[in-house]
């Protein structure tokens, strides 16, 4: 099966997904839906499986098998998935309850599996993580509030697996000066876009002059600093990658994290707003409170918080995953279904230093 066959499957899945999503949204828009029913999440819960089902159907019609799907769930991946799920849950719980910073760090495992095994394996990891987090995680790691966000985790896994399949998490060391300049420029523009987006929402929520007085709040400032320091560590790490190790992957990490974060924000915010009055019992609540105080309504405040937290969270997450992948032996990575797309382009030939 050639490249065109794969495109047909992906295209078919995407078209159906978009059709179902749009159809569903317009169908529900006409109805008087209670605030407690999150329209967007509901439609996604139907549209995503529909898209995947059509993808599977097309592949089955093309080849009579489902290789590209079953291949993503080999034994090695099935053994990694539980580790990844535990990582999501343990880190997510610690960050949410102990650190109280407005980021989540609950998708490192999801993105790790997606990178190594593929989009569907990543989606399954995200989904099962959130389900187990609610229904089976032993105390003190249980959280009844994770399961509604399972649909977001699914999308994060799908996106991460696709980006990794495109080689975005491949080390790209030894890039030329021009490539680095272009990559650096692109990264900085991506950062600016993210900042502007966040700022626009912030401003829209707060009004042109609404922020300054409230920002003096002491607790808020300290939490801001904690979050900032995490962000700075990641930013410094990315710059080190880019400049000192001449690794262009930094630009791709930023791009992948930014896109995943914005998509996740638009999906998670309505769920949080409609189910839980916008709060999650974590550090992000303080950001929402600040927005509310500045005069935003609930939906706006939650979306504003999500658009700030999620891209930052996802950039950090992709960076951590990149570090984990870098620490794994080349041949270990290569044994995973999608591992070949994570190896540096130059080193897939003989490398006696790595193999015994």
Taking the complex as a whole, how short is the minimal distance between the CB of residue 307 and other proteins, in angstroms?
A: 17
Least Cα distance to 48 among 122, 106, 112 occurs for 122
| Nearest distance from C-beta of residue 354 to other proteins, angstroms | 7
Q: How far is the CB of 132 from other proteins (least distance, A)?
A: 5
Two structure tokens written together for 350:
């003989």
- Shortest Å distance, C-beta 109 to other proteins: 9
Measured distance CA(163)–CA(168) in Å, rounded: 6
Closest CA to 94 of 148, 137, 155: 137
Contact between residue 339 and residue 118 where contact means Cβ atoms under 8 Å apart: no
Smallest gap, in angstroms, from Cβ of residue 185 to other proteins?
30
**CB 343 → other proteins: shortest distance, Å?**
9
Distance from C-alpha of 306 to C-alpha of 158, rounded to nearest angstrom: 19
| Closest CB to other proteins among residues 136, 346 | 136
Q: Which residue has the tokens 């650190």?
A: 99
Q: Assess contact for 47 and 21: CB atoms under 8 A.
A: yes
Using the structure block, give the residue that is written with the tokens 């989904």.
127
Helix (H, G, I), strand (E, B) or coil at 293: helix
φ, ψ dihedrals at 232, nearest 5°? -65, -40
- Of the pair 146, 190, the CB lying nearest other proteins is at 146
Q: By C-beta, is 124 or 255 nearer to other proteins?
A: 124
Tell which residue, 52, 110, 35, has the closest CA to residue 317: 110
Cβ distance to other proteins smaller for residue 187 or 305: 305
Q: How far apart are CA 19 and CA 51, in angstroms?
A: 9
CB of 137 to other proteins, least distance (A): 6
> Any idea how long the chain is?
356
Cβ neighbour number for residue 124 with a 10 Å cutoff: 24
Closer CB to other proteins, 177 or 356, in the complex: 356
Secondary element (H or E) of residue 229: helix 218-239
CA dist., res. 292 & res. 306, Å (int): 14
Q: Among residues 239 and 329, whose Cβ is nearest to other proteins?
A: 329
Nearer to other proteins, 28 or 199 (CB): 28
């Amino acid at each position: 099966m050639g490249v065109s066959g794969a495109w047909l499957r992906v295209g078919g899945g995407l078209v159906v997904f978009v059709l179902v999503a749009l159809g569903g949204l317009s169908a529900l828009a006409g109805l008087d839906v209670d605030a407690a029913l999150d329209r967007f999440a509901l439609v996604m819960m139907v549209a995503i499986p529909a898209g995947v089902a059509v993808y599977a159907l097309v592949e089955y019609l093309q080849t009579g098998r489902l290789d590209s799907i079953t291949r993503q769930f080999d034994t090695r991946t099935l053994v990694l998935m539980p580790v990844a799920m535990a990582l999501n849950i343990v880190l997510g719980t610690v960050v949410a309850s102990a650190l109280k910073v407005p980021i989540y760090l609950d998708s490192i495992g999801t993105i790790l599996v997606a990178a190594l095994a593929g989009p569907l394996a990543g989606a399954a990891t995200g989904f099962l993580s959130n389900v187990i987090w609610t229904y089976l995680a032993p105390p003190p790691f249980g959280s009844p509030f994770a399961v509604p966000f399972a649909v977001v985790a699914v999308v994060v896994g799908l996106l991460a697996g696709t980006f990794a399949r495109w080689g975005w998490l491949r080390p790209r060391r030894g890039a030329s000066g021009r490539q680095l300049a272009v990559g650096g420029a692109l990264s900085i523009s991506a950062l600016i876009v993210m900042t502007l987006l966040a700022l626009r929402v912030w401003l829209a929520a707060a009004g042109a002059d609404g922020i300054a007085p409230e920002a003096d709040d002491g607790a808020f400032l300290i939490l801001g600093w904690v979050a900032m320091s995490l962000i700075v560590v990641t930013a410094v790490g990315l710059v080190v990658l880019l400049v000192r190790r001449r690794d262009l992957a930094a630009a791709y990490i930023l791009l992948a994290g930014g896109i995943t974060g914005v998509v996740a924000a638009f999906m998670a915010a309505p769920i949080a707003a409609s189910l839980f009055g916008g709060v999650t019992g974590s550090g992000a609540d303080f950001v929402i409170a600040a927005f509310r105080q500045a005069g935003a309504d609930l939906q706006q405040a939650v979306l504003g918080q999500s658009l700030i937290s999620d891209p930052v969270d996802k950039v950090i997450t992709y960076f951590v995953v990149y570090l984990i992948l870098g620490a794994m032996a080349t041949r270990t990575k290569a044994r995973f279904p999608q591992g070949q797309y994570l190896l540096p382009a130059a080193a897939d030939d003989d490398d006696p230093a790595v193999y015994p």
